[in-house]
Amino acid sequence: MDTKYWNAAEGAPEQTDRAVAEAAALLREGGIVAFPTETVYGLGADATDGRAVAGIFAAKGRPQDNPLIVHIADREQADALAAGIGPVERALMERFWPGPLTLVLPARPGAVPKEVTAGLDTVGVRMPAHPLALRLIRAAGRPLAAPSANRSGRPSPTTAAHVLADLGGRIGGVLDGGPAGIGVESTVVRVDEAGRRIHVLRPGGVTADQLREAAPHMDIADVSESAKEAGVPRAPGMKYTHYAPQGELVIVRCADPGADPAEARERIARRIRRELEALRAQGVKTGVLAFQGEGRPEEAYPADLVLDLGPADRPEAAARELYAALRRFDEFGSEAIFAEALPESGIGRAVMNRLRKASGGRILDA
Ligand code: TXA
Ligand code: MG
């Protein structure tokens, strides 16, 4: 399949108009088009067309039991998709849409085919905060089902080049809107039936503090990494290994939660250096993902490739660069990668969640 490339990042407004119109026409014909959002690039299809949506699963190699998020541009589209929207959900929409929050809502029977919901009786809905995404949804004239536009298991794409590397030749086209801003996916939440608790199924661009502030009378429960419990809804996608580079990624954290940040960083660095020396002696190609942003990590670590994602207390920068960094370790051919643990405040929680997925649970204590 020939994959069309539309540059809508730079260039004249008429060029962007034409790109959006062509991409929308392809979507209306049942095609599959990747587009930018404020979190990561999405791989879109007409959410009302089961055949088109099945094409997304085929292109990505995605497990059939993992439902898709439906992207909308107007509130009315949410009303058409959901069987009912409660007051807490309304308040969250008011506060965070357009933006990186996905609400899992009871699905209106028949509104979307089973391919979208993977047969669940709920549907994930979000209004992205990216002008090109919103224009594309409006021009297509229908909601777009869209997972992240990577091959299943790979890091999510934050540029059009990442999309083409994974899916070139397998999809109808990609609309290039430049690099995604936030860098990790949306926060997926579900409000419990009693209307008292917000379950965070996947941490993401909206932080727990922001949810707490928007719904101060609600309990916020992050269940994204808790063991399966009866009655707790799950995001089916969270059980799969994800975002994993080809090399083996290991997280190194400080075993003492009471250690002050400088001491914790030093212990982590010492442990990583020790691991590196042992591996280098065996001729293994090594990498380090550092969040120190001081003391020049390239010099601190005797590794073949050291990528520094900025200061540990500015997790926004780490979020923006994380997936591109994981892809770079692959291009470089790193066989063993050590990632410094990051404090889990703010969006650092989402970054650590993705790193734990990428590590397949390999964690070393320093
Ligand atoms: O930021 C994002 O959310 C990006 C952009 C493209 O919008 N999309 C994205 O889609 O990350 P995807 O398919 O890679 O991840 C969707 C997550 C999965 O973990 C999936 O299991 C969960 O949302 N999900 C979708 N619908 C659900 C539902 N009805 N119930 C529970 N979890 C759901
Ligand atoms: Mg994904």
Is any ligand 1 atom within 6 A of the Cβ of residue 66? Answer: yes
Which residue in 284, 192, 246 sits closest to 360, CA to CA? 246
**CA-closest residue to ligand 1 atom 32:** 235
Is any ligand 1 atom within 6 A of the Cβ of residue 242? Answer: no
CB neighbourhood size of 332 (10 A):
16
Kindly list the protein residues that place their beta carbon closer than 5 angstroms to ligand 2, a single-atom ion.
148
| Mutation probe of ligand 1 site: the residue of 33, 35, 65, 102 with most atoms within 8 A of C-beta | 102
Distance 147 CA to ligand 2 centre (A): 6
Distance 68 CA to ligand 1 centre (A): 5
pLDDT at 359 over 90: yes
> What's the pLDDT band for 230 if we cut at 50, 70, 90?
very low
Q: What atom in ligand 1 is closest to the CA of residue 124?
A: 26
Is any ligand 1 atom within 6 A of the Cβ of residue 146? Answer: yes
Is any ligand 1 atom within 6 A of the Cβ of residue 353? Answer: no
Contact 133, 37 (CB under 8 A): yes
Residue type, 116: V
Cis amide linkage into residue 311, ω under 30° from 0: no
pLDDT at 232 over 80: no
Least confidently predicted of 1-10, 98-107, 166-175? 1-10
Is any ligand 1 atom within 6 A of the Cβ of residue 69? Answer: yes
Distance 279 CA to ligand 1 centre (A): 37
pLDDT at 309 over 80: yes
Contact 198, 221 (CB under 8 A): yes
Mean pLDDT on 53-66: 95
Is any ligand 1 atom within 6 A of the Cβ of residue 236? Answer: yes
Mean pLDDT on 214-221: 96
Distance 346 CA to ligand 2 centre (A): 21
| Mutation probe of ligand 1 site: the residue of 41, 97, 185 with most atoms within 8 A of C-beta | 185
pLDDT of residue 10: 84
Distance, CA of 288 to CA of 339 (rounded, Å): 6
Q: Which long-range contacts (CB under 8 A, 24 or more apart) does 83-91 make?
A: 83/107, 83/108, 83/109, 86/191, 86/195, 87/195, 88/191, 88/195, 88/198, 88/215, 88/218, 89/191, 91/214, 91/215
Distance 148 CA to ligand 2 centre (A): 4
Mean pLDDT on 160-174: 98
Is any ligand 1 atom within 6 A of the Cβ of residue 293? Answer: no
Contact 105, 122 (CB under 8 A): yes
Which residue in 301, 308, 305, 307 sits closest to 273, CA to CA? 301
Q: What atom in ligand 1 is closest to the CA of residue 39?
A: 1
Is the entire prediction scored with pTM above 0.85? yes
Is any ligand 1 atom within 6 A of the Cβ of residue 287? Answer: no
| Mutation probe of ligand 1 site: the residue of 69, 201, 224, 232 with most atoms within 8 A of C-beta | 69
pLDDT at 227 over 90: no
Distance 56 CA to ligand 2 centre (A): 12
pLDDT at 229 over 60: no
pLDDT at 233 over 90: no
Contact 335, 216 (CB under 8 A): no
**Average per-residue pLDDT for the chain:** 94
Is any ligand 1 atom within 6 A of the Cβ of residue 341? Answer: no
pLDDT at 231 over 80: no
pLDDT at 260 over 50: yes
**CA-closest residue to ligand 1 atom 15:** 147
